[in-house]
């Protein structure tokens, strides 16, 4: 059994609250609630005080909450309203300075919280998310398992990809393979983009028919124990790559390898981004790489840190990030390659297979 880290996570959060001058925190962002208590349901509030944690949910999760949360928090189930139950708890034991998660709480619910307590309600930013950036060995293992699962699913369906299939048909085959191999869900809508549509970095999978010689970009993920993998592969369907496809592909491939090999904790996020961006820009394609190099990965598919050309945040040791350079030309297509990388204390570790050589499905 992996170690139960919920008590130490809550202790670290309480230390952060003390540093902010807060007497408690109302956690409403569900990934944060899962991180702190293990609860995986879709409706809950978590009240963290200096000496106690209380999870409030509704009838649907009466048994599940008790089973998942265990000793990590006391559980309150309310048949009518979780907010009414929160109000009764705050009335019985007021919290002088109560923080709320400004990034996830709506204005309406923030006003509701203010009406439930006699204390001050103060917005906070990323108190739990800052803890989640640093991954434990078990978290890293779960992301690695998710990446392995995703790679096996892709390997299963690629031999059957051919011209005249639609993007939706290919996407459904990939998603079915992911589920068959044990993915708990899809961390984000699978992207299958072909031909000129591969120039859309966040394309929606469509009914477009794939043609021989098309670039086919597949951006997909898997989820294991709640943790996400995020991969992108670009292949050529039904023909050998032409000269332009081969040249652009090799440029993206080399840029990604360069970034993975030289990325290190402690460097600024913009310095990490520059490992790939500068290489692409010096070859005249800087304007065609318009997004950040990558993002953090964990219980959510997009979390801190962000490998952005404008970020001066140092990359933390033990973070997991994606490395995904891309080059896109409207009307022609695009090529992106993405792997998941752990920033260890002495070296980086590619959690996905890193097998990004050009694949031609002929």
pLDDT surpassing 90 at residue 1: no
pLDDT in tens, 125-184: 999 999 999 999 999 999 999 999 999 999 999 999 999 999 999 999 999 999 999 999
pLDDT digits (tens, 9 = 90+) for 288-301: 999 999 999 999 99
Alpha-carbon distance 354 to 218, whole Å?
15
pLDDT at position 205: 98
Burial class (CB in 10 A: 0-12, 13-18, 19+), 282: exposed
Q: Which residues pair with 53 in a beta bridge?
A: 48
In angstroms, the Cα distances linking 293 to 225, 231, 246, 323, 326 are 26, 13, 21, 6, 8
CATH H-level, domain 6-132: superfamily: Creatinase/prolidase N-terminal domain (3.40.350.10)
- Residue 345 pLDDT > 90: no
Helix, coil or strand: residue 135? coil
Alpha-carbon dihedral sign for residues 88, 37, 126, 23: positive
Mean pLDDT of the chain: 97
- Report DSSP state, residue 256: H
If you average pLDDT over residues 246-250, what whole number do you get?
98
Cite the DSSP H helix spans in the chain.
6-19, 30-37, 62-69, 82-92, 107-116, 127-132, 137-157, 167-180, 243-262, 269-282
Contacts of 137 (CB under 8 A, 6+ apart): none
Phi, psi at residue 201, to the nearest 5°? Answer: -55, -35
Examine the pLDDT at 252 and tell me if it is beyond 90. yes
Quickly state the pLDDT bin for 2 (edges 50, 70, 90).
confident
Over range 78-94, report the average pLDDT. Answer: 95
Contact 172, 165 (CB under 8 A): no
Task: Give the Cα separation of 232 and 297 in Å (integer).
Answer: 14
How much is the pLDDT for 229? 98
Nearest CA to 136 among 338, 317, 11? 317
pLDDT for residue 347: 83
Q: In Å, how far are 36, 46, 141, 185, 192 from 14, measured between CA atoms?
A: 12, 13, 27, 32, 43
Domain ranges of the chain: 6-132, 137-361
- Can you give the pLDDT at residue 67? 97
Buried b / exposed e over 326-362, threshold 16 CB at 10 Å, is bbbeeeebbbbbbbbbbbeeeebebbbebebebbebe
What is the tens place of the pLDDT at every residue in 254-304?
999 999 999 999 999 999 999 999 999 999 999 999 999 999 999 999 999
- When computed from its CA atoms, the radius of gyration of the chain, rounded to whole angstroms, is 23
Confidence bin at 346 (pLDDT 50/70/90): confident
Residue 242 burial by Cβ neighbours in a 10 Å radius (0-12, 13-18, 19+): exposed
The tokens of 252 are what?
């993206």
* Three-class secondary structure assignment of 68-83: HHHHHCEEEEECCCHH
Token reading at 97: 């300075």
Q: Find out if CATH 3.70.10.10 is the number for domain 137-361.
A: no
Fold matches, 6-132 and 137-361 = no
């Amino acid at each position: 059994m992996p170690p139960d880290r919920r008590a130490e996570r809550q202790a670290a959060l309480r230390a952060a609250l003390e540093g902010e001058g807060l007497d408690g925190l109302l956690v409403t962002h569900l990934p944060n609630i899962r991180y702190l208590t293990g609860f995986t349901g879709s409706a809950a509030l978590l009240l963290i005080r200096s000496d106690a944690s209380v999870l409030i949910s509704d009838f649907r999760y009466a048994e599940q909450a008790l089973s998942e949360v265990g000793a990590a928090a006391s559980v309150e189930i309310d048949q009518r309203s979780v907010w009414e139950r929160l109000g009764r708890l705050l009335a019985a034991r007021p919290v002088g300075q109560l923080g709320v998660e400004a990034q996830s709480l709506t204005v309406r619910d923030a006003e509701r919280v203010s009406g439930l307590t006699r204390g001050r309600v103060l917005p906070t930013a990323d108190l739990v998310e800052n803890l989640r950036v640093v991954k434990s060995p078990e978290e890293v293992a779960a992301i690695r398992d998710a990446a392995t699962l995703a790679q096996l699913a892709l390997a299963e369906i690629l031999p059957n990809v051919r011209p005249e299939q639609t993007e939706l048909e290919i996407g459904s085959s990939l998603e079915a393979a992911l589920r068959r191999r044990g993915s708990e869900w899809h961390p984000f809508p699978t992207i299958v983009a072909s031909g000129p549509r591969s120039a859309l970095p966040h394309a929606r999978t469509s009914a477009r028919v794939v043609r021989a010689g098309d670039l086919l970009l597949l951006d997909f993920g898997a989820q294991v124990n709640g943790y996400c993998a995020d991969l992108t592969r670009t292949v050529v369907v039904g023909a050998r790559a032409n000269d332009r496809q081969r040249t652009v592909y090799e440029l993206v491939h080399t840029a990604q390898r360069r970034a993975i090999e030289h990325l290190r904790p402690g460097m600024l996020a913009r310095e990490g981004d520059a490992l790939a961006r500068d290489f692409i820009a010096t070859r005249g394609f800087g304007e065609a790489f318009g997004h950040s190099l990558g993002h953090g990965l964990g219980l959510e598919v997009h979390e801190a840190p962000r490998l952005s050309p404008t970020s001066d945040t140092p990359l933390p040791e033990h973070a997991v990030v994606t490395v995904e350079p891309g080059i896109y030309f409207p009307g022609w297509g695009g090529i992106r390659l993405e792997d998941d990388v752990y920033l260890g204390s002495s070296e980086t570790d590619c959690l996905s297979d890193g097998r990004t050589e050009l694949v031609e499905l002929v």
